[in-house]
Amino acid sequence: MNTLEWILLSTFTMSLFSFVGVFTLVLKEDLLKKIILPLVSLSAGALLGGAFLHMIPEAVEAMGNSQSLWLWVIAGFSMFFLMEQFIHWHHCHRTPHEHKTPVTYLILIADGLHNFIGGLAIAGAFLVDVRVGIVTWLACAAHEIPQEFGDFGVLVHGGWSKKKALWFNFLSGLTMMIGALIAYYFSGSYDISFLLPFAAGNFIYIAASDLIPEVKHSQNIKTNIIHFASFLAGVALIFAVRIIFE
């Protein structure tokens, strides 16, 4: 496949992950509680692994170990900090009955913007190297599954029908393809290698500010061990893929 085909396939597949929310209707509440937070821990590890073990090293190769590279990492981190401060967006990785304050349309708008930026990141990675794109996609995918559980729960708890929640969640996911196509279009005229460190900053913020706080407050030693093991598994997954592709 050529680069554009990789970009379109990866971002459309990511959009399809919006339908995993339907499993909240099939799985028992107790089982959901048991699997969601370990998945959150896994995604935190995958995102940090993707940022530090793959994206930043590749960005250094493409841009050199320059001050501008690290400024783009900070810019990516700051962008998501800005989103949470002014849009009051924060993904909730909980079961449907644990959502106390549904903000349905705000969640969709913020999630659409989040996916749009994710599309820029994935396209930027594939444009540098298909292998970098695959690792970036894997890190995003690990995050997307528990996120979609939470988003679907917010929409249903906010009074939306299950069918409407699923389809609007999918439409929000399609903004990832829009971001990816914009990145691909401009890559012919501009150097967009800055998207790699920018996306790495996004990943670091999401993992450190959005995901890890969800799992760090348990006072149960067994639960803490499971969460930490899941986190390490996420890092190991990305590390293994990097070794395979070298």
> What pTM value is reported for the model?
0.81
Supply the pLDDT for residue 101: 47
**99, 149 contact by CB (below 8 A):** no
User: Domain ranges in the chain?
Assistant: 3-245
Who's near 240: CB < 8 A, 6+ residues apart?
none
H-run or E-run covering 92? none
Tokens of 40: 């959150």
Tokens 């409407």 belong to: 164
Length of the chain measured in residues: 246
The separation between the first and the last C-alpha atoms of the chain, rounded to the nearest angstrom, is: 20
How large a percentage of the chain has pLDDT more than 90?
30
Tokens of 101: 């304050």
Q: How many CA atoms lie within 13 A of 174 on its CB side?
A: 6
H-run or E-run covering 159? none
Supply the pLDDT for residue 145: 76
Q: Residue 90, exposed/middle/buried by CB under 10 A (0-12, 13-18, 19+)?
A: middle
Tokens of 64: 């050199």
Residuewise pLDDT in 10s, the chain (246 residues): 889 999 999 999 988 888 877 776 676 767 777 778 888 888 889 999 999 998 899 899 888 888 999 999 999 999 888 877 776 555 555 544 454 444 567 777 778 888 898 899 899 999 988 888 988 898 888 887 777 777 777 777 677 787 888 888 888 889 999 999 999 999 888 888 899 999 999 999 988 988 888 887 777 888 889 999 999 999 999 898 878 876
**202, 77 contact by CB (below 8 A):** yes
Supply the pLDDT for residue 88: 54
Who's near 135: CB < 8 A, 6+ residues apart?
50, 54, 55, 125, 238, 241, 242, 245
3-class SS of residue 86 = helix
pLDDT digits (tens, 9 = 90+) for 187-229: 888 888 899 999 999 999 988 988 888 887 777 888 889 999 9
- Closest-CA residue to 200 (of 76, 91, 65): 76
